[in-house]
Amino acid sequence: MLELLNRIVRHDIRNDVQSLTGWGEVLKGRCRSRERRPSNT
């Protein structure tokens, strides 16, 4: 029973980490695109 719970929790944690990693890549891309744009000042 403990082994099953361990697998489920590990799977859930991995899914959350993958989600955060994906959003991190999206945000990184947005920050880079803003750095490339010329400023309007």
Q: How do residues 29-41 score in pLDDT, each as one tens digit? A: 998 887 776 666 5
Of residues 34 and 20, the one with the higher pLDDT is 20
Position 17 pLDDT exceeds 90: yes
Distance of CA 35 to the CA centre of its chain: 21
Q: In terms of DSSP H, where are the helices of 1-41?
A: 2-36
Q: Give dist(CA 33, CA 13) in Å, integer.
A: 30
Position 18 pLDDT exceeds 60: yes
Tell me what pLDDT residue 41 has: 55
Dmax (CA) of the chain: 63
- Is pTM beyond 0.75 here? no
C-alpha dist (Å) from residue 7 to 15, 16, 26, 37: 12, 14, 29, 46
